[in-house]
């Protein structure tokens, strides 16, 4: 599937990277996600809240953003929505995007590149399971675009995991 990205798409993706940078500045894992409705309105913007010991390991930025958007838009309102995220959604977050009705995912940093940055850090035990593979097992299609702007997204991770 050939995908054309608009300037707005790139701006939203860069905003998710800024959310990740802000998360790091606040002392949490450097991940950020936003959900944009079919009308182009930013519905949710979330950083990561999974940093031990007080964080919840299920509170990845993507999961929080799609859940918040669903609470605002409901099932019908999620039609045509896009998740923009600073890193490729993990299996948990891909599942959450699927179940909340996201139609499109645009991500910056691939899981492979993220693993190069985190190594075997115990706070980020990555899956070797691309989100495209998770979505391919579902009953409805989800368009996936990425990786894009990987160097920009990687900057928030440099030095964080060491």
Active site residues: 62
Question: Does residue 57 contact residue 43 with C-beta atoms inside 8 Å?
Answer: no
- Could you count the other beta carbons within 10 Å of the beta carbon of residue 129? 13
21 to each of 86, 92, 150, 155, how far by Cα in Å?
10, 22, 14, 8
- DSSP summary character for residue 93: H
> What's the gap between Cα 81 and its chain centre?
13
Burial-class residue 161 by CB neighbours within 10 Å (0-12, 13-18, 19+): middle
């Amino acid at each position: 599937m050939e995908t054309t990205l608009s300037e707005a798409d790139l701006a939203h993706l860069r905003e998710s990277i800024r959310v990740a940078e802000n998360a790091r500045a606040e002392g949490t894992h450097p991940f950020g996600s936003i959900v944009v409705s079919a009308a182009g309105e930013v519905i949710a913007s979330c950083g990561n809240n999974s940093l031990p010991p007080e964080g919840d390991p299920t509170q990845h930025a993507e999961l929080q953003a799609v859940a918040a958007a669903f609470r605002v838009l409901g099932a019908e309102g999620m039609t045509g929505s896009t998740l923009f995220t600073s890193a490729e959604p993990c299996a948990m977050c891909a599942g959450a995007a699927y179940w909340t009705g996201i139609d499109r995912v645009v991500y910056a940093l691939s899981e492979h590149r993220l693993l190069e940055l985190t190594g075997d850090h115990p706070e980020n035990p990555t899956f070797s399971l691309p989100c495209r593979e998770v979505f391919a097992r579902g009953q409805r299609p989800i368009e996936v675009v990425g990786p894009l702007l990987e160097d920009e997204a990687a900057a928030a991770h440099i030095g964080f995991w060491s």
